[in-house]
Amino acid sequence: MDNKPNILLTDSPKSYFVSVCLAGIFGTLGIHHFYLGRWLHGTFDLTMAILTVVFIFVFFPIAVLLAITDVVHTAYFTYKLIIGEYKDGSGRTVNLPH
């Protein structure tokens, strides 16, 4: 019996390169989450970015806090994507092509 996991069941059909590029370019907007089928996470990121812009005009210190949180959050998930530990909306790992 083979103990090796079935690649077809564990790897995401989504492109690793597209995911990483979207995270790097539009990361704070959460576009990469939408691409990978993680709609709630994408909505959270997009909402945080919109609130940052709104609070620039309402109460600047909160805008700075939101912006820093969003950037740190994006850097963390971009790192997880790059090292191959991030999963798409179906629970399959987004990996470099074999």
Amino acid identity, residue 80?
Answer: K
* 19: exposed, middle or buried (Cβ count in 10 Å: 0-12, 13-18, 19+): buried
- The reported pTM is 0.84
Taking only the tens place, the pLDDT of each residue in 69-98 is 999 999 999 999 999 899 999 999 998 877
DSSP per position, 18-52: HHHHHHHHHGGGTHHHHHTT-HHHHHHHHHHHHHH
Amino acid identity, residue 28?
Answer: T
Q: Give the residue, 42 or 10, on which the prediction is more confident.
A: 42
Q: Residues with Cβ < 8 Å from 83, sequence gap 6 or more?
A: none
